Amino acid sequence: MNIFYAPPNQIRGNQIELLGQEATHVSKVLRYREEDAITVVDGQGGWYEGIISRILRDSIQVTVQNFEKKPRRDPRLALALGIIKKRDRLEFAVEKAVELGASEIVLFRSEHTVKENVRMDRLESTVLSAMKQSLRAYLPPVTVVPSLSNLIDKYKDAKLLVAHEKKEGETGVPGVLKDSGELVLFVGPEGGFSEDEITLLKNRDSEIVSLGSHRLRAETAVTAFLSQFL
Ligand code: SAH
């Protein structure tokens, strides 16, 4: 099964217009025909089942027959990830985060961040294809913030969970935390969190979480951390 993406401004009443790569994918790659059934999501929980009414040169017209609003998962899980230097590893981490249900992804520059610039265009297409591949109706926003403290300010009333390999004791997220409203899961970059950053997070009464006694790559930690909420 394939699903396709149309932002809300391309949806009017029971008419949807697919444009750009989505339209090309439908008509040129998958060679859909007029009257074929098709499913479209709007990235905000809308799930539309319909029929292709027109295939034009660079757009596809869809007539909606059935609409469903998919519920947002609860708790909402934001991933706060230190910018990983290696681009393909960063894209891998972002792709897994979407597949595993992150509601949004915030990349932060930490004291140990080696790399400055982020290829946002590539991250956005990674997120879009991961949403479609995992048949999700929500398109998680990806943003970059300049520092960890700026990030902490952004989530005043969320519960912060910090994956830190220096935490002794039991592994995993305490059950009680799994049902609270919004959680922010922090994973550091290759060089980990600095002592100051851990102090900053502890001062915000973060829960420090161990993901086992062995050191994981940041992108592996993202997967291990988020999969605890499945
Ligand atoms: N600080 C180490 C490794 C950092 S690994 C170093 O200096 O090389 C990158 C991130 O993955 C860490 O900041 C942490 O968030 C997460 N991580 C890796 N292994 C982990 C473990 N066993 N438990 C909890 N978090 C871990």
Q: Does residue 165 line the site of ligand 1, with CB under 6 A? A: yes
Cβ-count burial of 52 within 10 angstroms (0-12 exposed, 13-18 middle, 19+ buried)? Answer: buried
Query: For atom 8 of ligand 1, which residue has the closest CA?
Result: 191
**Is the CB of residue 187 below 6 angstroms from any atom belonging to ligand 1?**
yes
> Which residue, among 201, 83, 88, 205, has the nearest Cα to 146 in the 3D structure?
83
For residue 134, give the 3-state DSSP assignment.
coil
Atom 7 (ligand 1) nearest CA: 191
Residue 201 CB partners (closer than 8 Å, separation 6+)? 148, 152, 160, 162, 186, 193, 208
120 pLDDT higher than 90? yes
| Atom 6 of ligand 1, residue of closest alpha carbon | 191
pTM, full prediction: 0.94
Distance from Cα 40 to the centre of ligand 1, integer Å: 38
pLDDT of 49: 98
What's at 47, amino acid-wise?
W
Which domains occur in the chain, in start order? Answer: 4-69 (2.40.240.20), 76-227 (3.40.1280.10)
What would the mean pLDDT of 198-205 be, rounded to a whole number?
A: 94
Answer whether residue 219 shows pLDDT above 80: yes
* Assigned token pair, 224: 């291990």
Looking at ligand 1, which residue's alpha carbon is closest to its atom 20?
165
Q: Is the CB of 173 under 6 A from ligand 1?
A: no
How far is it, in rounded angstroms, from Cα 211 to Cα 230? 15
* CA dihedral angle for residue 166, residue 171, residue 175, residue 181, rounded to 10 degrees: 40
Which atom of ligand 1 is nearest the CA belonging to 186? 15
Tell me how far apart the alpha carbons of residues 15 and 83 are, in angstroms, rounded to a whole number: 40
Q: Is 163 a pocket residue for ligand 1 (Cβ < 6 Å)?
A: yes
pLDDT number for residue 147: 87
Mean pLDDT, residues 119-145 taken together: 97
Q: For residue 115, what pLDDT is reported?
A: 64
